[in-house]
Amino acid sequence: MPSIKPVLRSGLFCGILLAAANAALAQQFAGQTVNVIVNFSAGGPTDVEARVVARHLPKYLPGVNSVVVRNVGGGGGNIGVNQLGEASARDRLTVGFLTWNPLNQIIQEPTLRVRYNDLKFIAGMRQTSLIYIRRDTAPGISKSADVAKARLFRLGVMGPTNITTLRVRLALDLLGAKYETIQGYKGLRDIDTAMLQGDIQVSTNSLPGYFTFAKPNLVDKGIVLPLLQFDRADVSLGRSPDLPDVPTFYEVYKDVWGKEATPSGQKWQALQLLTQLVDTMYRTAFMPPNAPAAAVEEMRGAFEKLGKDPEFIAQYEKVVLTKPHFIVGAEGERVVAELVKVQPEFVSFLRKYIESMK
| Domain regions of the chain by residue span | 14-19+21-126+281-344, 129-277
Q: CA torsion 148→201→139→251, rounded to 10°?
A: 30
Burial of 68 (0-12, 13-18, 19+ CB in 10 A): exposed
> What's the whole-model pTM score?
0.84
| Alpha-carbon span 309 to 305, nearest angstrom | 6
Tell me the CATH class for 129-277.
alpha beta
At 358 the pLDDT is 67
Ramachandran quadrant class, 43 (left: phi over 0; alpha: psi -120 to 50; beta: rest):
left
Instruction: Read off the DSSP letter of residue 111.
Output: T
At 76 the pLDDT is 86
3-state class percentages of the chain: helix first, strand second, coil last, to nearest 5: 50, 15, 35
Residue 307 backbone dihedrals phi, psi, to 5 degrees: -65, -15
Residues 249, 229: contact at Cβ < 8 Å? yes
Question: What is the mean pLDDT for each group of 10 consecutive residues in the chain (358 residues)?
Answer: 44 45 65 95 90 96 94 92 96 96 94 96 93 98 98 94 93 98 87 95 90 92 97 83 94 97 94 86 96 96 96 95 89 91 93 88
CATH code, residues 14-19+21-126+281-344: 3.40.190.150
Fold match between domain 14-19+21-126+281-344 and domain 129-277 = yes
Instruction: Read off the DSSP letter of residue 222.
Output: T
**201 to 121, 241, 249, 285, 355: CA distances (angstroms):** 37, 26, 18, 33, 23
Strand bridging mode 326-328 / 120-125: antiparallel
Helices (H), the chain: 5-25, 45-56, 78-85, 102-106, 163-174, 188-197, 207-209, 249-257, 265-280, 293-306, 310-320, 330-337, 344-357
